[in-house]
Amino acid sequence: MTGEVIFNERWAQMRGFRLDEIPPHVDSWLSGIHPDDLPRVRQTLDDHVAGRIPAYEAELRVRTRSGSWIWIMDRGRVFERDAQGRAIRMVGTELDITVRRQTEEALRRAIRARDEVLGIVAHDLRSPLSVITMQASLLRRCDTGPQRPADVIERSARRMNRLIEDLLDVTRIEAGHLAIRKRRLRPEQLVAEAMEANQALAASAGIELRLQRTSDCPDVLADGDRLLQVFANLIGNALKFTPAGGSVTSGVASRGDQALFWVADTGSGVSEADLPHLFDRYWQADPRERRGSGLGLPIAKGIVEAHDGRIWVESAVGRGCTVFFTIPSAAAPHAGREQPGESPPV
């Protein structure tokens, strides 16, 4: 290509010039590109001209006549080549995306500010919560009666601490910074541990916990603490929405190169209209009757997806609810690697 370019009036106006002020050459375009963007733009353009990619596309900053910078979406394509495949002519368009980029940056700043505030709140609340919990333990030694004040204080402190951890987990998931420490685990043992941890809560609500045993599943590479957190959220939800006399069943089965886990209840079920919203943050089926923070299922989803698994719900009104999730087996190609120094299977 000769480097000759035909610009139009709108192209010049975007930069604050008249069309007759701009030499009709590719250098007029290149010279206005931000120096931090220029190497990437040149490489992308060269790759397209050489036929290595089907089209040229780049987002870049361009200097205007006033010296300010605007964001441009550049797109182009070679539409004529010679017998040897060399580019002869190319056509392109530009779109001013400055407002969009400014909006995106404002959103990023808002998210960073929110995360900083949550971090400060979590840090500042943990210290007094630790003191409250410690003092409640001391009070318990002196308390008598069926409803001891120390027990009430301790339960409240634990709920507050759980909410703090949930808020922090949501921000970690959104930022892609959720820590996952994988080790080899036996799926059946994991389910049994999760059920045992919730046995007392189920008994106090008059609900039966059932462990559905299947044939041996292959080991998984997973973060056991995080998966127990998933089960705590799923079983906790099931117990909330299952009446006394009902049951909650959990189990695991082999499904190809994955382990399929589930938690099923005999509660009131979920309507078809509500199913798509179950994993939305803070969502409640009935806003007038809040039964938690609305963060448990979104966190469970984030943890499962961080393991390259999938989570979904099957339910109908009056027929209970079943939450399924998958975790790749240790032998699966995308299961990852066990982290050095981890414990043997539990």
**pLDDT tens digit sequence for 322-339:** 999 999 998 876 556 555
CATH architecture of the domain covering 9-96:
2-Layer Sandwich (3.30)
Hey, what are 95's tokens? 């779109």
168 or 126: whose pLDDT is higher?
168
The reported pLDDT for the residue numbered 172 is 77
The pLDDT tens digits of the residues spanning 182-210 come to: 999 999 999 999 999 888 889 989 999 99
Domain ranges in the chain with CATH number 1.10.287.130 = 102-175
161 or 227: whose pLDDT is higher?
227
Least confident of 31-40, 135-144, 181-190: 135-144
CA 93, CA 178: separation in Å to the nearest integer? 40
The pLDDT tens digits of the residues spanning 68-97 come to: 999 999 999 999 999 999 999 999 999 999
Cα angle 95, 100, 102; round to 5: 120
Environment class of 337 (CB within 10 Å of its CB; exposed 0-12, middle 13-18, buried 19+): exposed
Q: Is 336 left (phi over 0), alpha (psi -120 to 50) or beta?
A: left
pTM greater than the 0.85 cutoff: no
| Cβ(75)–Cβ(93) below 8 Å | yes
Average confidence (pLDDT) over 102-114 = 82
Q: Residue 144's pLDDT band (boundaries 50, 70, 90)? A: low
| Cβ(335)–Cβ(329) below 8 Å | yes
Is domain 183-328 given the CATH code 3.30.565.10 in the classification?
A: yes
Please name every residue paired with 208 in a beta bridge, in sequence order, or none if there are none: 247
Domain ranges in the chain with CATH number 3.30.565.10 = 183-328
pLDDT, mean over the chain:
84
The type of residue at 229 is Q
Is domain 102-175 given the CATH code 1.10.287.130 in the classification?
A: yes
